Amino acid sequence: MVGFLLFRSVTLTYPQDRLTPLAVDQVAPGVYVHTGVIALMTAANEGAIANLGFVIGGDGVAVVDTGGSVREGRRLLAAIREITDKPIRYVVNTHGHPDHVFGNAAFGPPTIFVGHHNLPRSLAERGPYYLKSFRPSMGSLLDDVKIVPPTLTVADQMKLDLGHRPLVLQAWRTSHSDTDLTVLDKASGTLFAGDLVFVRHIPVLDGSIRGWLKTIDDLAKIPAQRVIPGHGPAPSPWPGALNDERSYLQRLESDCSDLIKRGVPLAKAAQIAGTSEKSHWELFEDYNARNATAAYSELEWQ
């Protein structure tokens, strides 16, 4: 006990103990969400651009995504500890993008990391590149980031129980990315959709436009009461939150198919496809040409 007290008095001098807990809202009984800013990851916003959340069950907590820096992950942990002292049984990553996984190292054993069955491979392939490519914008905030892969993987569907609180995890076909996983809290009807759902923030395509459109049709059948999108207002109404995203992706697909048929080369097509959607989205200039390039490349071969 004395040792414990000494340990506490020492650790209190470390900067992480002075971190301000992340702002979270209770969106349903036992379900909390931090809403990220609609922006690119920078040192100034600590990479805190994605929506994160946690669910408190009878005997433990599940965290859904950990943010864009270990600092953000620690601030999320501080927010959880202001609300409950139950053990954090699981960290579920909805996919492998940096703004959702760079905070993983804030959570240590015995927490079990959970993800899509493709996620270990994806993080092994891309992790080092992510750390390098975000260095200019994130600086020393990346110093303590570790790429932490899941040890519990989901090939199709899996149920986690937090103590009379079942979460249903669903792994999806390649859509926004090739590691997309959703989490449905059955008790409250809250669907954590990760980046399968974007609201206001332009959707970002790093998987398959055809796959994503199919997945949107499947997602719409999930009997949820509300959705936590990966980016944008959380919660958002369900399934209405899918409407703008579906329109954008359908527009991108039909524009690209058309441009391919007319023989318009990729570089030119990327400047044209999807642009009629511009007024509906934030960060449009940051991502639309890239989305168009990905969609064109996929559709060119079909």
Residue closer to Zn ion, measured from CB, 133 or 271: 133
Size of the residue set binding Zn ion (CB under 5 A):
2
Nearest distance, CB of residue 34 and Zn ion, angstroms: 16
Choose one: 37-45, 92-100, 134-142, 286-294; the region binding Zn ion (CB under 5 A).
92-100
Based on the shown chain and the rule CB under 5 A, indicate whether residue 75 belongs to the binding site for Zn ion: no
Q: Which string of x and - marks every residue 195-214 that binds Zn ion (by CB under 5 A)? A: x-------------------
- Reading the block at residue 79, the tokens are 């927010």
- Reading the block at residue 231, the tokens are 């980016």
Based on the shown chain and the rule CB under 5 A, indicate whether residue 65 belongs to the binding site for Zn ion: no
204 and 291 Cβ atoms separated by less than 8 Å:
yes
In one-letter notation, the amino acid at residue 158 is M
Nearest distance, CB of residue 167 and Zn ion, angstroms: 20
280 and 248 Cβ atoms separated by less than 8 Å:
yes
Residue closer to Zn ion, measured from CB, 27 or 41: 41
Q: Is the sign of the CA dihedral 36, 39, 40, 46 positive or negative?
A: negative
d(CA 31, CA 188) in angstroms, rounded, equals 8
d(CA 32, CA 56) in angstroms, rounded, equals 9
In this structure, how many other beta carbons lie within 10 angstroms of the beta carbon of residue 178?
A: 19
Choose one: 25-33, 96-104, 112-120, 142-150; the region binding Zn ion (CB under 5 A).
96-104
Based on the shown chain and the rule CB under 5 A, indicate whether residue 71 belongs to the binding site for Zn ion: no
How open is the CA angle 37-42-48, to the nearest 5 degrees? 35
Choose one: 91-99, 115-123, 134-142, 151-159; the region binding Zn ion (CB under 5 A).
91-99
Choose one: 54-62, 70-78, 93-101, 114-122; the region binding Zn ion (CB under 5 A).
93-101
**Interface residue with Zn ion, options 34, 75, 89, 97 (CB under 5 A):** 97
- Reading the block at residue 114, the tokens are 């959970």
190 and 27 Cβ atoms separated by less than 8 Å:
yes
Strand boundaries in 199-287, DSSP class E: 226-231, 236-237
Nearest distance, CB of residue 97 and Zn ion, angstroms: 3
Nearest distance, CB of residue 228 and Zn ion, angstroms: 14
Based on the shown chain and the rule CB under 5 A, indicate whether residue 178 belongs to the binding site for Zn ion: no
Q: Footprint of Zn ion on this chain (CB under 5 A)?
A: 97, 195
